Structure 1
């Protein structure tokens, strides 16, 4: 459902007419006081003529909203490309449900084969082969030796 205004209500897009809220009937609003059956019928006929245009405009607005959302999402995506032989961590939820205190990432795996773009065949360090895993479920392994040398040198 779009989070921006389509400037049309769902009711008007479905039934080709505007709604009268129950409060307007009880309080006798200007629209209810000056109701004219003949002009109302003419207005309904005009609404039928313009409903397709209103639906097109609404569809265009929703498509523009989705394009903006996709652009914003894709701007934040950081592509990760791994090569054969790289060590990676696998998301723990890829192998089953994860509890609150369970680790988020599983032990290091070795990339054995690139199945297709974004999917890899992994192998555990104890030579157990894993079927292909998608890129979003992998993370590079930080080598602690280079990390400690850079940040904790005296």
Structure 2
């Protein structure tokens, strides 16, 4: 499943949890959760999803019951005036979408910059002793109280991009590179 779809589903579930007591009748509240999701401004794009699709902001049910200035203004328009107003909105939809794309790229650049400022590069040298992390999917990680690290290993070769090739203590060289995030210095 696509990462964006997973994120959307996670957000809709979060909204549903807030408006549903327990697991009963969540399907009755789903349209309200979707309306809330589609009409909330996304930080990453600076717009609502509804506006990017339809070219105008949605009229939420509360605005129908208690008319907002926007609703009052549109209700007061004659059919021809309303059509001209809607055509102007639709002409500007491409511009709004381009603005959202630019906003998204700026947002991504800010997130990359924040992430890169937090990352501390790990430098390893040839012959250095290191420990290798044992991941949950590996065969060595079967029991609860097993160690999280294995080794020591010797750094045989340092590759570009933060990967290294390790060698066993007996000199056997690994065929697969390992990311430097999965190793740490071994202190005797």
Q: TM-score range by the shorter chain?
A: 0.7 to 0.9
Q: State the distance in 2 between where 1:16 and 1:71 align.
A: 32
> CA–CA distance in 2 between the matches of 1:103 and 1:113?
26
Task: Determine the C-alpha separation between the residues in 2 that align with 1:95 and 1:7.
Answer: 39
Q: 1:33 to 1:71 in 2, by over 3 A?
A: closer
The reply to whether residue 133 of structure 1 matches residue 178 of structure 2 is yes
Question: 1:80 corresponds to which residue?
Answer: 122
Name the structure 2 match of 1:45: 87
Name the SS for the 1:17 alignment partner.
coil
Q: What 5-or-longer segments of structure 2 have no aligned partner?
A: 5-40
2:164–2:179 CA contact under 8 A, matched in 1: yes
**Aligned equivalents of 2:44, 2:178: Cα separation in 1:** 39
Q: Please state how far the C-alpha of 1:92 moved relative to its aligned partner.
A: 1.0
Cα distance in 2, alignment partners of residues 39 and 95 from structure 1: 64
Cα separation, partners in 2 of 1:7 and 1:75, compared to 1, 3 Å: closer
For the structure 1 residues 14 and 107, does the alpha-carbon distance in structure 2 shift closer, same or farther, using more than 3 Å as the test? same
- In 2, are the aligned partners of 1:94 and 1:137 still within 8 Å (CA)? no
Question: Partner residue of 2:96?
Answer: 54
> For the residues of structure 2 that align with 1:33 and 1:95, how far apart are their CA atoms?
60
Change (3 A) 1:33 1:56: closer
The structure that has the greater radius of gyration is 1
By relative contact order (CA 8 Å, sep 6+), the higher-ranking structure is 1
Residue aligned with 1:45, SS:
helix
Aligned residue-pair number: 142
Q: How far apart in 2 are the matches of 1:46 and 1:134? A: 53
Query: 1:100 & 1:28 partners in 2: Cα distance?
Result: 59
Structure 1: any 5+ residue segments left out of the alignment? 144-154
| TM-score normalised by structure 2 residue count | 0.64
Q: Secondary structure at the match of 1:125?
A: coil
The structure in which a higher percent of residues are strand is 1
Kept after mapping to 2: 8 A contact 1:120/1:133: yes
